[in-house]
Chains A and B, each alone.
Chain A
Amino acid sequence: GFYANSSMPSQVTHELLLICTCLCSCLSLRSTAHQLCRVQSQGFLTCTYIHFFHRQEIMKWNGWGYSDSKFLYNKKGQAEFTGKRYRLSGMIIPGLREWMESTFGANLQHKTPAAPILNSSVVQPPTLNEAFLKELKSTGIPFSHDAEDRVFRSHGHCLHEIFALREGKIGRVPDLVVWPNCHNDVVKIVELACKHNVCLIPYGGGTSVSSALECPPEETRSIVSLDTSQMNRILWIDEKNLTAHVEAGIVGQDLERLLNESGYCTGHEPDSMEFSSLGGWVATRASGMKKNIYGNIEDLVVHIKMVTPRGVIEKSCQGPRMSTGPDVHHFIMGSEGTLGVVTEVTMKIRPMPEYQKYGSVVFPNFEMGVACLREVARQRCAPASIRLMDNEQFKFGHALKPQVSSIFTSFLDGLKKFYITKFKGFDPNRLCVATLLFEGDREKVLQHEKQVYDIAAKFGGLAAGEDNGQRGYMLTFVIAYLRDLGMDYYVIGESFETSMPWDRVLDICRNVKARIVRECKDKGVQFPPLSTCRVTQTYDAGACVYFYFAFNYRGLSDPVHVYEQVEHAAREEILANGGSLSHHHGVGKLRKEWMRETISSVGMGMLKSVKDYVDPNNIFGNRNLL
């Protein structure tokens, strides 16, 4: 329920309760209206959740995604994926159990279940700033200090954050949650926060993996989580200039769906697009899967409006490019909530593609695969998406194949396998696969496809079908759910990313994977870890690489600490080999310690001086980045 202060006159409380009830019923109406499901190209059925004030009603409070969707082992000991939202939903995944057992040494007998419900008594009572609260109430902007609401907005999805929740451990959480409905509401909230010296932490989709949403434990002021979820409208679409003006709280899947209804798309599809918000993308410099056609967030943004303690910052026009000193948008993009709240964004839009086609190529080894991607980048003919998985990930993808209904399909699969390994002589323990997504008008797609497959052939690549490609992209959306399954059975893990020049791709992949294995051994991990990577983006001058790393923690007294030490070592390895601190996840608090060496002391000073000018009292006090 909403805030009801016991010290207030009972009449006021009563009124509030009334408003509250009205709002709630109104909300439930809205939410049913939006529970319309739809198959998206990526293979997930979507169901918007965003209009809920209480997202935890349809989302897990201590894991990834929707409450109804999760992996579990059924009574027969077979893995299945529950729910109806995704292509994989309701299916049996026969290979998963064996893969988990052989990869991690996991065992169905050894369970580590999560605490089922949040025990509100472990949540610290809120520290409230009465004066702020009083004025906030007068604005009519909804707010809450309910324990569940606060806990839900106290974290992102780093391993240590989820692990603690599963164990029912709650640290510092926001003291209050506010739901502004529009730009002007945000202006009011920020003014009040400045006036009463309250700490504001903007909250969009909550998918951060950089500890960006963690409340600084040293913060003594009242912390207010500013939830942008109600600012989710497309304010206008400009068909002449192909732009759309959108409120920053909208989440990816809603934005695409609403634009699609008018025949447009942004084409910005980060892996988290089901839940992450436009404002979050801007604040972290997000990157989308199909950036080869549509560009990353910095290429897509035409205009940004942000509310800061100094006032509102925006440009005076929407010129496509300007030479007016350093681009102030670049102070905003990547500011990670330290300067203000992004409220509205004008973005480029494109007509929806006429035709989409998936594809995949098998290479005899990872080196050949990388060489092929490099050549594709050199010729600047990358499809909308091109990704290269290493051998371990290829096997992992294989383990996630759902049960096939027909004998014919399984026969065909067997035949394919025979052809590749026996006839073509690929070593099943070295081969790797690239997944492709082409988009555009049909004829051009087919032409483009041929060009890419021709290049691949030069590097020993064999076309391996649309199915494999499509499954590869589908996995992107369910892999986050899989971590929760692992955590039920002593397996913890996470992904992290980097970018590097082309000539260092192979070295970084090899060295970081090897470093992970060695660190696990040194830190006493009893089982060999899963240490795998994939190249997920290509650029003219380099690539983006994603690492996945997980291990069975049985026998460790402090598994999260071990995990963090290994991830820290892996990041050191990346930096020592010439990789970047982050390609698109951002810095948050998790990677802050490396910022100075990354951007130099002068660079730090520049950022610091901007912060000092814009927010001298550190109202946006999440302490990310600097």
Chain B
Amino acid sequence: MTSTYKDSGTASLNDEEEFTDILEERRRNTDLGYALRTFNPQPYKGAPSCSTSDLNKAVLESQYLRYIAKEIALETGSSVEKVRQEARGILEEMSHNLQLGFIRLMAYTFNKVFKRLFRSIYVNMEGLNMLQQAIQESPVILMPNHRSYVDFLIVSFVLFTYDIPIPVIAAGIPLASMKVVGEILRRSGAFFIRRAIGSDKLYWAVLSEYVRTIVRTGCAPLEFYVEGFRSRTLKSVVPKLGMMDMVLEPYFKGEVFDITLVPISISYDRVVEESLLALELLGVPKPKESTTGLFKASRVLQEDYGCMHVNFGRPLSVRQLCEGKINRSEYNLIPRDLPQRPSTEIQDCVNWLAHLIVRTQEEGALISPWSLMACLLLQAPITTLTEEGLQWHGLTEKTLWLRKLVLDFRGRLNWPAHTPDSDVMSSTVALHHSIVHHKAGRVYLVQDGNPASQDPLSPEEKVMRTAAAVLMLVSYRNQAFHVFVRPGILATAIHITKSTQKDELFSFFCFLRDVFSNEFIFIPGRASQDFDEACSLLQKCGAVHISQQEVTVLETGLEVLSFLQKLLQPFLESYQLIFRYLCENGAHVFTEKQFLPAVRNLATKLILSGDLHTFEVLSSDTQKNVLSALRRLEAVTKLRASQQNEYKVNKAAVRRTGDILSGKIPPESLHAIPDARL
């Protein structure tokens, strides 16, 4: 553990957090010795040692499952025994089978793989120490973000290395169906959840009782992705609440004194599946998870993926966070073994907590120099990138300028300390040779054609090819987006409203926050804090002057404001385009299957005609987010009866939203803004 370094840039803000490279020692010692090391972690105090079979038995014999089984038997007319048999089957498919032997095997393999893939894996020791402490005090929930398949077992790997109890991990069922690997994962602590559970009552019951039992007994830390799945865009995803509900219920029902949530931020210099992600977003179907697919992917082992950071956040006490927010006595009148729908107060609290965790993950993520460069590259005209090339000198100058801005905005930078800045940037570009190349003082976008193919590409195919490269850049830009989003929205509000009045800006800020709340993570109910934060950050970097009533743009701030406004521009353009599509082209009722390709076709056409400057609207993620935003704003409604996700559009409402977004009409008409501050 000799190699430590400080993430330099943030020293002034994040009190010199020390990161240790865990591969360093691995490289010096044998993998076998490491895998066979004594593993003797300190478990949760008072937790009975609980074998897999004990756990499964406790779940199956729980009062809760008995009750549900009876209910289902009554509803479906089958026998209770049959339903219970079915439950047993579900549990068998679901349950983990954590075995130390397999953890050792996993550790051995990972060592081999990680040493090939990464230069270093940095872990913050302080976070690990706090985690070790927390695990002894209450049941711990590990909540990493999910950016790559690589991170699926990384937390287990780190914890094994530092003698901390190995977690059980919620995983998607497709992983289970991979031959051998599925079983290895299961024995490494993974349990598997079906993707579309829908209204399968028995499945919900087994799953929730399984999760609750793990939390209640504290037999192992529980790890799950609150975002629900791997983010294809490398941007945080609006959290899913199903697992969160299950995990927190034992606290709400008083079955445990407290639950500790540990947000974990995993950041990559370079993500292993970067190109797959972009293709998937463009509608090229993702390869099914399969063992052979995994072996085919062994090509990736030849590549250099730079460093990985695993930042264990400060453990958060659910009890403390919920204090004053909820009244747990609502559970007093119904036996706790029976299902009970939580009050809206509790639901809101869960939603708030989930958002808080994702925000904390964002704040803990390390931003690489490459993310900054991606922000800047995307602001250059596309032809510059594909044809003339962007001036290297200008780019590096601007990157250094942006570095300062990120520090002003309290971002956590991963900028190597003892290397000249120019070397940092050129090695960054070298690492990302799959996206850009640097030649004769200029930087070009790499467009991964298929040279083997004889046929010349059609213009549409060319757009898609460029789009794939752009979306890769976009995903790296997204890694830094959370730092800019609040001031960025304020900058956009200033740009669109041309107002200096604080209350006017605030209401537009709220509107944007509302429209984009599927794109970016905003903690519910904190609009005014977000606004204040945006104001103070813009003031801090000298972009604006804030008085009691007014926000005035300063001469010195034009560069910052224009950068921020351009950063958000693709979203505004994409949303407007889709609004336009819905108002003009689309039918009143459409399905998602019709919607996605239609938008893609329209966008491609407009890009070719030069009327659209962003490729981001081609991403299915953006398209789906617009749909969700419109549903939230009640301009689009999902037809309940429909089998194939049919939507009904209220064109007037969509048009009005578009008009507000473009500044034609003020936002008050849309929503009464609930805010205590004004």
Interface residue ranges, A against B (CB under 8 Å): 503-504, 507-508, 510-511, 514-515, 575-578, 597
**19 A-B Cβ contacts within 8 A?**
A503-B336, A503-B337, A504-B254, A504-B336, A507-B254, A507-B255, A508-B254, A510-B257, A511-B254, A514-B257, A514-B258, A515-B257, A575-B329, A576-B254, A576-B327, A576-B329, A577-B254, A577-B328, A578-B329
B332 interface residue (CB < 8 Å to A):
yes
CB atoms of B254 and A503 under 8 A apart? no
Tell me the complex Cα distance, A510–B335, Å: 19
CB atoms of B335 and A511 under 8 A apart? no
Tell me the complex Cα distance, A511–B329, Å: 14
Tell me the complex Cα distance, A263–B527, Å: 76
Tell me the complex Cα distance, A126–B328, Å: 47
CB atoms of B331 and A578 under 8 A apart? yes
Tell me the complex Cα distance, A348–B586, Å: 85
Q: Which residues of A contact B255 (CB under 8 A)?
A: 507
For the complex formed, measure the closest distance between the CB of B284 and the CB atoms of chain A, giving whole angstroms. 52
Q: Which residues of B contact A514 (CB under 8 A)?
A: 257-258
Binary interface profile of B, 531-574, with partner A (CB < 8 Å = 1, else 0)? Answer: 00000000000000000000000000000000000000000000
Binary interface profile of B, 303-320, with partner A (CB < 8 Å = 1, else 0)? Answer: 000000000000000000
For the complex formed, measure the closest distance between the CB of B216 and the CB atoms of chain A, giving whole angstroms. 10
For the complex formed, measure the closest distance between the CB of B44 and the CB atoms of chain A, giving whole angstroms. 13
Other 19 A-B pairs with CB < 8 A, given A503-B337, A576-B329 = A503-B335, A503-B336, A504-B254, A504-B336, A507-B254, A507-B255, A508-B254, A510-B257, A511-B254, A514-B257, A514-B258, A515-B257, A575-B329, A577-B254, A577-B328, A578-B329, A578-B331, A578-B332, A597-B329
Tell me the complex Cα distance, A597–B333, Å: 13
Tell me the complex Cα distance, A597–B327, Å: 11
Which parts of B250-272 form the interface with A (CB within 8 Å)? 254-255, 257-258
Nearest CB to that of A517 among chain B residues? Answer: B257
For the complex formed, measure the closest distance between the CB of B192 and the CB atoms of chain A, giving whole angstroms. 30
Nearest CB to that of B251 among chain A residues? Answer: A511
Q: Which residues of B contact A576 (CB under 8 A)?
A: 254, 327-329
For the complex formed, measure the closest distance between the CB of A506 and the CB atoms of chain B, giving whole angstroms. 9
Which parts of B325-350 form the interface with A (CB within 8 Å)? 327-329, 331-332, 335-337
CB atoms of A511 and B332 under 8 A apart? no
Q: Which residues of A contact B329 (CB under 8 A)?
A: 575-576, 578, 597
Nearest CB to that of B331 among chain A residues? Answer: A578
Q: Which residues of A contact B254 (CB under 8 A)?
A: 504, 507-508, 511, 576-578
Nearest CB to that of A504 among chain B residues? Answer: B254
Q: Which residues of B contact A510 (CB under 8 A)?
A: 257
For the complex formed, measure the closest distance between the CB of A258 and the CB atoms of chain B, giving whole angstroms. 43
For the complex formed, measure the closest distance between the CB of B569 and the CB atoms of chain A, giving whole angstroms. 48
Most chain A beta carbons < 10 A, residue from B254, B331, B332: B254
Tell me the complex Cα distance, A575–B327, Å: 10
Q: Which residues of A contact B331 (CB under 8 A)?
A: 578
For the complex formed, measure the closest distance between the CB of B46 and the CB atoms of chain A, giving whole angstroms. 9
Nearest CB to that of A576 among chain B residues? Answer: B328
Tell me the complex Cα distance, A514–B257, Å: 7
Tell me the complex Cα distance, A504–B254, Å: 8
Q: Which residues of B contact A503 (CB under 8 A)?
A: 335-337
Tell me the complex Cα distance, A578–B258, Å: 16
Tell me the complex Cα distance, A192–B362, Å: 74
For the complex formed, measure the closest distance between the CB of A6 and the CB atoms of chain B, giving whole angstroms. 56
Tell me the complex Cα distance, A575–B333, Å: 12
Tell me the complex Cα distance, A320–B373, Å: 89
CB atoms of B327 and A511 under 8 A apart? no
Tell me the complex Cα distance, A424–B332, Å: 39
Nearest CB to that of B63 among chain A residues? Answer: A503
Nearest CB to that of B330 among chain A residues? Answer: A576
8 smallest CB-CB distances across A and B, nearest first, come from A577-B254, A578-B332, A576-B328, A514-B257, A511-B257, A507-B254, A576-B329, A507-B255
Nearest CB to that of B326 among chain A residues? Answer: A576
For the complex formed, measure the closest distance between the CB of B623 and the CB atoms of chain A, giving whole angstroms. 45
Tell me the complex Cα distance, A504–B257, Å: 12
Tell me the complex Cα distance, A503–B338, Å: 12
For the complex formed, measure the closest distance between the CB of B234 and the CB atoms of chain A, giving whole angstroms. 39
Tell me the complex Cα distance, A507–B255, Å: 6
Which parts of B28-47 form the interface with A (CB within 8 Å)? none
Tell me the complex Cα distance, A507–B336, Å: 12
Tell me the complex Cα distance, A578–B331, Å: 8
Q: Which residues of A contact B258 (CB under 8 A)?
A: 514
Tell me the complex Cα distance, A399–B250, Å: 36
Q: Which residues of B contact A575 (CB under 8 A)?
A: 329
Tell me the complex Cα distance, A507–B216, Å: 11
Tell me the complex Cα distance, A503–B331, Å: 13
For the complex formed, measure the closest distance between the CB of A140 and the CB atoms of chain B, giving whole angstroms. 53
Tell me the complex Cα distance, A578–B328, Å: 9
Tell me the complex Cα distance, A159–B332, Å: 30
For the complex formed, measure the closest distance between the CB of B634 and the CB atoms of chain A, giving whole angstroms. 36
Q: Which residues of A contact B335 (CB under 8 A)?
A: 503
Q: Which residues of A contact B327 (CB under 8 A)?
A: 576
Nearest CB to that of A597 among chain B residues? Answer: B329
Nearest CB to that of B137 among chain A residues? Answer: A514
Tell me the complex Cα distance, A515–B254, Å: 12
Tell me the complex Cα distance, A310–B254, Å: 46
Tell me the complex Cα distance, A508–B336, Å: 13
Tell me the complex Cα distance, A578–B340, Å: 15
Tell me the complex Cα distance, A577–B333, Å: 11
Q: Which residues of B contact A508 (CB under 8 A)?
A: 254
Tell me the complex Cα distance, A503–B62, Å: 13
Q: Which residues of B contact A504 (CB under 8 A)?
A: 254, 336
For the complex formed, measure the closest distance between the CB of A518 and the CB atoms of chain B, giving whole angstroms. 8
For the complex formed, measure the closest distance between the CB of B558 and the CB atoms of chain A, giving whole angstroms. 49
Which parts of B285-318 form the interface with A (CB within 8 Å)? none
Most chain B beta carbons < 10 A, residue from A504, A515, A597: A504
For the complex formed, measure the closest distance between the CB of A492 and the CB atoms of chain B, giving whole angstroms. 24
For the complex formed, measure the closest distance between the CB of A522 and the CB atoms of chain B, giving whole angstroms. 10
Nearest CB to that of B332 among chain A residues? Answer: A578
Nearest CB to that of B337 among chain A residues? Answer: A503
Nearest CB to that of A512 among chain B residues? Answer: B257
Tell me the complex Cα distance, A576–B329, Å: 5
Tell me the complex Cα distance, A597–B257, Å: 22
Q: Which residues of A contact B332 (CB under 8 A)?
A: 578
Tell me the complex Cα distance, A354–B467, Å: 95
Q: Which residues of B contact A511 (CB under 8 A)?
A: 254, 257
Q: Which residues of B contact A515 (CB under 8 A)?
A: 257
Tell me the complex Cα distance, A575–B254, Å: 11
Q: Which residues of B contact A577 (CB under 8 A)?
A: 254, 328
Tell me the complex Cα distance, A510–B257, Å: 7
Nearest CB to that of A500 among chain B residues? Answer: B332
Tell me the complex Cα distance, A577–B330, Å: 9
Q: Which residues of B contact A507 (CB under 8 A)?
A: 254-255
For the complex formed, measure the closest distance between the CB of A454 and the CB atoms of chain B, giving whole angstroms. 25
Tell me the complex Cα distance, A87–B307, Å: 74
Tell me the complex Cα distance, A597–B330, Å: 11
Tell me the complex Cα distance, A334–B254, Å: 29
Tell me the complex Cα distance, A507–B328, Å: 13
For the complex formed, measure the closest distance between the CB of A425 and the CB atoms of chain B, giving whole angstroms. 15
For the complex formed, measure the closest distance between the CB of A544 and the CB atoms of chain B, giving whole angstroms. 17
Q: Which residues of A contact B328 (CB under 8 A)?
A: 576-577
For the complex formed, measure the closest distance between the CB of A372 and the CB atoms of chain B, giving whole angstroms. 18
For the complex formed, measure the closest distance between the CB of A365 and the CB atoms of chain B, giving whole angstroms. 9
For the complex formed, measure the closest distance between the CB of B219 and the CB atoms of chain A, giving whole angstroms. 15
For the complex formed, measure the closest distance between the CB of B320 and the CB atoms of chain A, giving whole angstroms. 9
For the complex formed, measure the closest distance between the CB of B637 and the CB atoms of chain A, giving whole angstroms. 39
Most chain B beta carbons < 10 A, residue from A508, A514, A515, A576: A576
Tell me the complex Cα distance, A282–B514, Å: 60
Q: Which residues of A contact B336 (CB under 8 A)?
A: 503-504
For the complex formed, measure the closest distance between the CB of B657 and the CB atoms of chain A, giving whole angstroms. 42
Tell me the complex Cα distance, A508–B258, Å: 13
Most chain A beta carbons < 10 A, residue from B255, B257, B258, B327: B257
Nearest CB to that of B327 among chain A residues? Answer: A576
Tell me the complex Cα distance, A272–B332, Å: 31
